[in-house]
């Protein structure tokens, strides 16, 4: 990753922050997008990265942030769409605002970022995009209708643009199972709800952000040079059965 120019969204927290830390350790030059100012500044400082505040639901803010990232890094080699939101509940009690928020951040956000970044990625020698979807997109669960739909949409989007951008840019997705981050903590607040959730996974535990970051790094590295358009489960073994 030495000297590779990498843009990460959702870098202020959880999986995005872990991806940033891993890529920084491996010598990448990083630009980070998030809406969370204070947390983003902290991660950026620790990783000597460029922090860019933008709301991924807003086309003009995304275009400006991606342009600034490419200008300041001298181009782009990798784009990693890690930002996301979660809301859970029976679909027939869902609010339209929650549904729209899930689609806007989890699906429209990566579309806007990829669309803005593609002109820079096309100029790179070995360009990659990785979209962070979810194991829920591969094997849906009750109460996750909006989230599953947004993340399954992201997988379809990934497969389509992998074809459109080949062979210049490889595009893949990772599909994490439950990962120890702020996003998941509220979903399983009690010991018993957590135990029940862990039992759904062959490995019997939640994963860590660094386990997802390692998969993302593989999909950005030359070692994965013959891989494009895949949805890689990093889910402790739930989607295969
Ligand atoms: N944690 C899990 O169990 C899990 C499982 C599967 C998939 N994922 C996915 O992994 C990704 C990272 O999740 P996480 O657990 O690290 O969550 P997190 O809440 O810790 O981090 C998400 C980040 O996205 C940013 N973000 C949200 N909306 C934004 C917007 N409109 N504009 C800019 N930034 C915005 C937040 O500020 C935050 O920094 C998400 O796409 C999530 O759906 C997480």
> Which pLDDT does position 142 carry in this prediction?
96
Could you report the per-residue pLDDT of 70-80, keeping only the tens digit for each?
999 999 999 99
Q: What is the mean pLDDT of the chain?
A: 97
Ligand 1 pocket residue status of 65, Cβ below 6 Å:
no
- Pairwise CA distance, residues 146 & 88, whole Å: 8
Percent of the chain topping pLDDT 70 = 100
In ligand 1, the atom with minimum distance to the C-alpha of 104 is 31
Q: What pLDDT is stored for residue 189 in this prediction? A: 87
Ligand 1 pocket check for 184: Cβ under 6 Å: yes
Peptide bond before 97: cis, by omega within 30 degrees of 0? no
Asked if residue 167 has pLDDT above 80, the reply is yes
Residue to probe by mutation, ligand 1, list 7, 8, 15, most atoms within 8 Å of CB: 15
What Å distances lie between residue 106 and 5, 24, 223, CA to CA? 23, 25, 28
| pLDDT digits 0-9 by tens, 149-165 | 999 999 999 999 999 99
Report the pLDDT averaged over residues 158-181. Answer: 98
Give the closest residue (by CA) to ligand 1 atom 7: 134
Please tell me the distance between residue 11's alpha carbon and the centre of ligand 1 in angstroms.
9
User: How high is the pLDDT of residue 15?
Assistant: 98
Residue 117 has pLDDT above 80, yes or no: yes
The CA distance from 61 to 47, in Å, is 23
Q: Are 186 and 140 in contact (CB under 8 A)?
A: no
| pLDDT mean over 217-229 | 98
DSSP the chain: -TT-EEEEESTTSHHHHHHHHHHHHTT-EEEEEES-HHHHHHHHHHHT-EEEE--TT-HHHHHHHHHHHHHHHTS-SEEEE-------S-GGG--HHHHHHHHIIIIIHHHHHHHHHHHHHTTSSSEEEEEE--HHHHS--TT-HHHHHHHHHHHHHHHHHHHHHTTTEEEEEEEE-SBSSHHHHTTS-SHHHHHHHHTTSTT-S-B-HHHHHHHHHHHHSGGGTT--S-EEEESSS-TT-
Is the CB–ligand 1 distance for residue 35 below 6 Å?
Answer: yes
Domain boundaries, the chain: 5-233
Q: 185 pLDDT band (50/70/90 cuts)?
A: confident
Tokens representing 124 are: 């790179």
Distance CA 126, CA 128 (A): 7
- 5-233: CATH superfamily: NAD(P)-binding Rossmann-like Domain (3.40.50.720)
Q: Would the pLDDT of 240 be above 90?
A: no
Q: How far apart are CA 62 and CA 35, in angstroms?
A: 11
pLDDT at residue 26 in the model? 98
- pTM of the full predicted structure? 0.98
pLDDT score of 44: 98
Query: What percentage of the chain carries pLDDT values higher than 90?
Result: 95
Q: Out of 120, 144, 147, 201, which one is annotated catalytic?
A: 147
How many Å separate Cα 163 from the centre of its chain?
Answer: 20
The confidence band for 184, taking pLDDT boundaries of 50, 70 and 90, is confident
User: Would you say 104 and 153 are in contact if contact means Cβ atoms under 8 Å apart?
Assistant: no
Check if 144 is active-site.
Answer: no
Q: What is the mean pLDDT of residues 32-40?
A: 96
Quote the pLDDT of residue 83.
Answer: 98
pLDDT at 212 over 80: yes
**pLDDT of 119 over the 90 cut:** yes
Tell how strand 29-34 and strand 50-53 pair up: parallel
Whether pLDDT at 209 is above 90 = yes
């Amino acid at each position: 990753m030495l000297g590779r120019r990498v843009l990460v969204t959702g870098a202020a927290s959880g999986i995005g922050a872990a991806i940033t830390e891993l890529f920084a350790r491996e010598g990448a030059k990083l630009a980070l997008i998030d809406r969370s100012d204070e947390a983003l500044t902290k991660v950026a400082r620790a990783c000597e990265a460029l922090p860019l505040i933008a709301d991924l639901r807003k086309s003009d803010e995304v275009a400006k942030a991606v342009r600034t990232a490419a200008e300041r890094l001298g181009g782009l080699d990798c784009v990693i769409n890690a930002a996301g939101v979660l809301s859970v509940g029976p679909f027939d009690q869902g609010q339209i605002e929650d549904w729209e928020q899930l689609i806007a951040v989890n699906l429209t956000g990566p579309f806007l970022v990829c669309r803005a970044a593609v002109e820079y990625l096309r100029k790179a020698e070995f360009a990659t995009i990785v979209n962070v979807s979810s194991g829920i997109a591969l094997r849906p669960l009750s109460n996750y209708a909006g989230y599953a739909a947004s993340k399954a949409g992201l997988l379809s989007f990934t497969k389509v643009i992998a074809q459109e951008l080949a062979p210049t840019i490889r595009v893949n997705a990772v599909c994490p199972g439950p990962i120890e981050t702020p996003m998941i903590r509220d979903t399983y607040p009690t010991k018993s709800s957590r135990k029940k959730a862990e039992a759904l996974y062959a490995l019997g535990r939640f994963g860590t952000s660094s386990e997802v970051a390692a998969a993302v790094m593989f999909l950005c590295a030359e070692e994965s040079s013959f891989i494009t358009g895949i949805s890689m489960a990093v889910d402790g073994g739930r989607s295969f059965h």
